[in-house]
Structure 1
Amino acid sequence: MSWVQPDNRKDSTGLNTAIILSAICIPLMILQSTIGLTFSGSYAKDGAWGRAVWLGNDVVNLFIFTPLLLMAILLFKRGSAKGILFWLGVQALITYDYLYYPLAVAYDTYFLLYVAILGISFYSFIFGITGIDFSKYDKLIPGKKSAVIASGLMFTFALILGLMWTGLWVYYIFTGEEKQKGLAMISTFDFILIITPMVLSAFWLLKGQAIGYVLSTIMTLVCGFYCLILMAYTPFALHAHLPDAWTMLPIWVLLCALCFPALMILLKSRRSE
């Protein structure tokens, strides 16, 4: 992957603050994930299903997301436009990931640790996204053909996810059965924080706008990598002999397969197509 070197910083103070906060996330994530995976009483109040979910989260956070964030910080320090954008995507990923810990994990001893990681990551992303000059990304917007392909993958992702949550809502209307625990919270976050931004980003990308390129890169990175957490539930669910261990896995694999090709198109793009 080649990383170009334009001057894309609008607010160096904000970006410096962002990267300091980002670096603080790393030891906190290591601490939280290690506690979750090694302490026998971790997530005991969340039941077998919840424990499988959170152990899967912790494995991915410790062995994939933490190294990914470290790599993103190193790319940020190189000062390239794509390096900074890649870091923004990873920081958004960490923020979305840890949004669920303080809200969905049963209240426990480590509640403030979850809040700390979420808060630090969120403000790191805010300082970062407000510190870049979007106009400097004009030259990285892909050509028409690549933009259509990437946007098509993104629209398909949003459509599948939206239909899935809508279908579960319709199922509840007719049966009164909630097919998935935490359905209201998860679907609300996905409609507002995932589906809507994905659609808007793809639309702006098709129009050739820099904000569309920036947000599309962030959204495809967040959604592609977060699917790994959703997949990680399966082995822990199988170990706990849960009946729904395989149910959602094909959907998560499909959604992941839609995001990563779009992300690669965006990271390799140049206006010169």
Structure 2
Amino acid sequence: MDKTIIPNMGTQKVMNYSVAILTAIHCIISIADNDIYRDGEWANAQWLGQDIITLVIALPLLLISIRKGIEKNKEKWKILNCGVLLYFAYTYSFYVFVAKLTYLYFFQASIFGLSLIGFVISCIGIFNHKCSFNLPSRNLKMIIVIYLSLIALMLSFIWLSDIIAHITNPAHKSDTPNGEAPLIIYTLDLAVIIPLMFTSAILLYQKTNWGYLLSGIILTKTSTLGFALMAMSLSMYLQDLNPDYFLIILWCIIGLIGTILTLLFLNKLKIKENTESNKEYKK
């Protein structure tokens, strides 16, 4: 007997729509009054860029993925939904663990918790669904493998270099307002995101179901976060806070390439229901 547990669609809808509603309220308040944050000009400018991208890009993607993925049961949109929820969990971890306390914390903590739990529940659903995946374009597959591997290697080099510099040179300063090491970034990227990127690239190269699913999730998260980081840097530039121009260009490139690859991946991905009545791959 198949005892696979598929999460209840109603539960997923409630959690996703809760994230969407709370995010809309949070972003509208914070964008209308950026001074509500108490983290100084440097951090406030980045929060502003982050909130704008979350409101105009991530939130619409979440709503579309709820409609087409959860309500209409389309696998590709379920993958996108997981990626967007991972973006929310990653993004709002900074608000709850780094930002100074304001009444927005009640929204931020709720969004962080709901998106993290929702991500896990959504992953349980898509990873247990009886489907097989295939990406007919070998060139696209290899480009995605290379892209994910290069981003993971680049981030590993940047963060490990900064960590080693802090350990070996007490006078070393990170690119933060007080020069202190951004431990939350190191931890989330080195312990979670980078291993997921490498794992996705390896499993995609091996043409496994997990490789296709993880790659779609990580591509979605990487492209949305790339635009968010770009907006954060541009916000600092517009407020004359001397951002790193190299990073503005870098995140623009990552965001654009990631978006193109995400769209191509989801468009070309073929799905086959593992049933006797349906043996053909479908778009």
- Global fold match (TM > 0.5): yes
Evaluate the alpha carbon distance shift between residue 230 and residue 133 of structure 1 in structure 2; reply closer, same or farther with a 3 A threshold: closer
Give the TM-score normalised by structure 1: 0.87
Unaligned runs of 5+ in 2: 272-280
How large is the Cα RMSD of the aligned pairs?
Answer: 2.2
Establish whether residue 55 from structure 1 lines up as the match of residue 48 from structure 2: yes
Q: Which has the higher contact order (CA 8 A, sep 6+)?
A: 1
Give the conservation status (yes or no) of the 8 Å contact 1:89–1:222: yes
Query: What residue number does 1:82 align with?
Result: 76
Give the conservation status (yes or no) of the 8 Å contact 1:153–1:262: no
Give the conservation status (yes or no) of the 8 Å contact 2:79–2:126: no
Q: Count how many residue pairs are aligned between Structure 1 and Structure 2.
A: 262
Query: In the TM superposition, what is the alpha-carbon distance from 1:232 to its structure 2 partner?
Result: 0.7
Query: What residue number does 2:223 align with?
Result: 224
Evaluate the alpha carbon distance shift between residue 16 and residue 143 of structure 1 in structure 2; reply closer, same or farther with a 3 A threshold: farther
- Pairing 1:156-175 to 2, within 5 Å after superposition: 156-172=150-166, 173-174=168-169
Unaligned runs of 5+ in 1: 1-9
Query: What residue number does 1:188 align with?
Result: 187
Q: Percent identity?
A: 23
Residue aligned with 1:248, SS: helix
Query: What residue number does 2:270 align with?
Result: 270
Give the conservation status (yes or no) of the 8 Å contact 2:45–2:235: yes
Evaluate the alpha carbon distance shift between residue 219 and residue 202 of structure 1 in structure 2; reply closer, same or farther with a 3 A threshold: same
Q: Distance in 1 between matches of 2:61 and 2:43?
A: 25
Which of the numbers 117, 126, 143 marks the counterpart of 1:123?
Answer: 117
Q: Distance in 1 between matches of 2:136 and 2:154?
A: 25
Q: Deviations over 1:136-160 (max 9, x none)?
A: 4423344544322211111111111
Give the TM-score normalised by structure 2: 0.84
Give the conservation status (yes or no) of the 8 Å contact 1:95–1:121: yes
Segments ≥4 residues shifted beyond 6 Å: none
Q: Distance in 1 between matches of 2:248 and 2:157?
A: 16
Instruction: Tell me which moved more, 200-209 or 167-176.
Output: 167-176
Query: What residue number does 1:238 align with?
Result: 237
Which of the numbers 69, 91, 102 marks the counterpart of 1:97?
Answer: 91
Evaluate the alpha carbon distance shift between residue 89 and residue 142 of structure 1 in structure 2; reply closer, same or farther with a 3 A threshold: farther
Query: What residue number does 1:26 align with?
Result: 20
